[in-house]
Amino acid sequence: MHNSSLINPQCPIARSLERVGEWWSMLILREAFLGASRFDQFQKNLGIAPNMLTRRLQTLVADGLLEKRPYSTRPLRHEYVLTAAGQDFRPVLWTIMAWGNQHFAPEGPAIQLVDSATGAPAEPMLVDRHTGRPLTYPAFRVVAGPAADARTKSRYPTWPATTPTPNPTESADAPTGAAA
Amino acid sequence: MHNSSLINPQCPIARSLERVGEWWSMLILREAFLGASRFDQFQKNLGIAPNMLTRRLQTLVADGLLEKRPYSTRPLRHEYVLTAAGQDFRPVLWTIMAWGNQHFAPEGPAIQLVDSATGAPAEPMLVDRHTGRPLTYPAFRVVAGPAADARTKSRYPTWPATTPTPNPTESADAPTGAAA
DNA sequence: CAGTATCCTGTCCGATACTG
DNA sequence: CAGTATCGGACAGGATACTG
């Protein structure tokens, strides 16, 4: 999408999608996590057209997920390495991978997470970093945060649950409370 | 993308992207988690053109993430509810949300995860479901799984680390081992 | 209210050719 | 090897009109 977060410019999901929503972007990041850093590696491993690779690489750099830095000066050559923000995308990729394995890999996983030391397969699960409690629904839910604007507040409950101004179209069919 | 997993048809990330890679798909799922189920709700909350909504809803139903079921018979009306596979997408959305809040919300989070009972903000972290250990890199890594084909095996290390047939283009610059 | 049908535009993307 | 330039096709997506 071009314009994107027309209605919910604040939504962190929409904002993330603006950076990595294009099809190739996530796959390029996947390759970066795999160890690729040079133009050629991305191109061969992905089978992406060079002009598209250039474009996606540029936007990823512009968005601060990859850093372009010279590894040779004569001739001038660059490699593309993950920034801290890019590195932080790893859990997202791992979560997506787990979801894909769960539902779209009837033959079993083609790739999977394992303990590097023992090789034991690991299964990703979300917990709260502070308490360690599993992040399940409806024990946890998504609510408006401190920076929420009026529109966001009207669409997401606020906490504490002071019967937030309900969205008329939704209040009827969200019995236990809505999330995400 | 149309054709998509040209080179890595096995990759669970690519397979996931085939289902939810279109821009609107994830946002529609976000709305579904928020409680939306009717055509009108999706349309109003997203500001999406009705024909696009129809298309995306159809693919999501076809892919088994949403279920279309009648809630009225005269006139015939349908609602779109999350299937089990759709519900399982919630951790993905929450992880993306956390990443977006981390890096693209300088003003603070507009929405956030909280404990439904206490309202205490929660911060998602990935752990292994079986051992509870934090899924960090490089303690954990992505390797070829049991269903990996030849190409996948050549691109991902296998475990135990019997010096997997290294990808010539990558072996040089992946010192500690590559992941994801 | 819950969509379907039609038309149009933008751009993602692939293919190919070219350059230092 | 690491890209840039150009061309064309397919389709996502928007706008609008229409229906029971």
Q: Measured between alpha carbons, how far is A48 from A30 in angstroms, rounded to an integer?
A: 14
**Of residues B4, B99, B173, nearest to A92 (C-beta):** B99
pTM of the model: 0.89
Q: Measured between alpha carbons, how far is B150 from B162 in angstroms, rounded to an integer?
A: 16
The distance between the two most distant Cα atoms of chain B, rounded to a whole number of Å, is 67
pLDDT tens by residue, B14-60: 999 999 999 899 999 999 999 999 999 999 999 999 999 999 999 99
Task: Give the pLDDT score at B8.
Answer: 84
With both helix axes pointing from N to C terminus, report the angle between B90-104 and A90-104 in degrees, rounded to the nearest 10.
Answer: 170
Average pLDDT, chain B: 88
Task: Give the pLDDT score at A164.
Answer: 45
Q: Which residue is it, tokens 């040089």? A: B172
Query: Quick check: A67 and B156 in contact, CB under 8 A?
Result: no
Query: Quick check: B127 and A115 in contact, CB under 8 A?
Result: no
- Reported as a pLDDT band with limits 50, 70 and 90, residue A16 is very high
B51/C5 CA-to-C1' distance in Å: 9
What's the gap between Cα A129 and its chain centre? 18
| DSSP 3-state of A93 | helix
Q: Measured between alpha carbons, how far is B26 from B115 in angstroms, rounded to an integer?
A: 24
The distance between the two most distant Cα atoms of chain A, rounded to a whole number of Å, is 67
Query: Is A170 in contact with B130 (Cβ distance < 8 A)?
Result: no
Over range A110-114, report the average pLDDT. 97
**Could you give phi then psi for residue A166, rounded to 5 degrees?**
-75, 145
A39/C20 CA-to-C1' distance in Å: 16
Task: Give the pLDDT score at B1.
Answer: 53
State which nucleotides on strand C lie below 7 Å from a protein beta carbon: 1-7, 10-17, 20
The residue count of chain B comes to 180
Q: Measured between alpha carbons, how far is B81 from B24 in angstroms, rounded to an integer?
A: 16
| DSSP 3-state of B163 | coil
- How far apart are the two ends of chain B, measured CA to CA in Å? 21
Nucleotide nearest residue A54, measured CA to C1': D3
* A·B CB contacts under 8 A: 345
Task: Give the contacts of A52 (CB within 8 A, at least 6 positions apart).
Answer: A24
Query: Is B110 in contact with A152 (Cβ distance < 8 A)?
Result: yes
The residue count of chain A comes to 180
- Reported as a pLDDT band with limits 50, 70 and 90, residue A6 is low
The neighbour count for residue A83, using CB atoms within 10 Å, is 16
What's the gap between Cα A14 and its chain centre? 10
- Reported as a pLDDT band with limits 50, 70 and 90, residue A8 is confident
Task: Give the contacts of A47 (CB within 8 A, at least 6 positions apart).
Answer: B6, B7
Question: Peptide bond preceding A138: is omega within 30 degrees of 0, i.e. cis?
Answer: yes
Over range B102-112, report the average pLDDT. 97
Structure tokens at B14: 């690519």
Q: Which residues of B touch A154 (CB under 8 A)?
A: none
Residue A174 C-beta-side C-alpha neighbours within 13 Å: 26
Query: Quick check: A53 and A39 in contact, CB under 8 A?
Result: yes
Residues lining strand D, beta carbon within 7 angstroms: A 1, 3, 6, 38-41, 49-51, 54, 77-79; B 2, 22-24, 47-52, 55-56, 75
Task: Give the pLDDT score at A142.
Answer: 97
Q: Mutate which of B65, B116, B151 to test chain A, going by most A C-beta atoms within 10 A?
A: B116
Over range A82-109, report the average pLDDT. 98
Q: Residue A120 pLDDT more than 70?
A: yes
Residue in A with minimal Cα distance to B173 = A35
Q: Which residues of A touch B103 (CB under 8 A)?
A: 64, 85, 88
User: Which helix (H) or strand (E) is B30 found in, with range?
Assistant: helix B23-34
Task: Give the pLDDT score at B173.
Answer: 38
State the sign of the Cα–Cα–Cα–Cα dihedral A28, A31, A33, A35. negative
Query: Is B126 in contact with A91 (Cβ distance < 8 A)?
Result: yes
Domains (range + CATH), chain B: 3-86 (1.10.10.10), 89-155 (no CATH)
Query: Is B1 in contact with A21 (Cβ distance < 8 A)?
Result: no
Q: Which residue is it, tokens 């991978």? A: A97
Query: Is B104 in contact with A139 (Cβ distance < 8 A)?
Result: no
The neighbour count for residue A75, using CB atoms within 10 Å, is 5
